[in-house]
Amino acid sequence: MKHTTPRHVAVAVPFCPATGRVLLITSRKHHNYWILPKGGVDDGETSGQAAAREAHEEAGLPAPRTVSDELSVQQPLAPPGKRQEIWHAHALEMATEELDASWLEQDERKRQWFTVTEAIKAIEKWGPLLEAEGDEDMSRGAPKKKAVKGDAMLRALQAFVVKYGWET
């Protein structure tokens, strides 16, 4: 069944003001590359609730102290024939960097706290991977899926920096 409505995706930017760091997780497909927790918004849930749920499932993040209003709303370009997505980024404020000892995706992902500057550099490392995979998507006029997602994650981090005044 082809979807005609966009898929809503929640992006989490977990952060700890006490240490000045944000939490990243590794990609399931590319274990040496770092991303923000993200996933689909379920029926009956807000994008902020989905961001907290995804961070819990993917990184073992306990319930955040607060969940921000949307930091950014993006509509990355979808490849031809693929369902459009709308990304809603939320900051999840944590009292400490303490994480659950076990979590749903612990066998598939690593997790680590980074300064904002380190997090931006870690997400930017997707660039060489994209170049190595070739330009087959671009030859058809479609954006590379990973390039679009990497850019959307960088924009979410940048929106976080602007809203909270954190230095990079």
CA atoms of 71 and 157, how far apart (whole Å): 9
Cα 68–Cα 74–Cα 76 angle in degrees, nearest 5? 145
pLDDT in tens, the chain (168 residues): 566 789 999 999 999 999 999 999 999 988 888 999 999 999 999 999 999 999 999 999 999 999 999 998 888 777 777 888 999 999 999 999 999 999 999 999 999 999 999 999 999 887 665 555 554 444 444 446 666 778 888 999 999 999 998 876
81-44-74 Cα angle (round to 5): 45
Residue 131 a catalytic site member: no
- Helix intervals (H) in 29-105: 47-59
- The reported pTM is 0.87
| Catalytic residue (one of 45, 57, 93, 105) | 57
Output DSSP code: residue 64: -
CATH architecture entry for 7-164: Alpha-Beta Complex (3.90)
Q: What is the largest CA-CA distance in the chain?
A: 47
Domain segments of the chain as ranges: 7-164
Contacts with 117 (C-beta within 8 Å, 6 or more apart), sequence order? 167, 168
81 conformational bin, left if phi > 0, alpha if psi -120 to 50, beta if neither: left
Q: Which residues contact 55 (CB under 8 A, 6 or more apart)?
A: 12, 14, 23, 37, 61, 64, 92
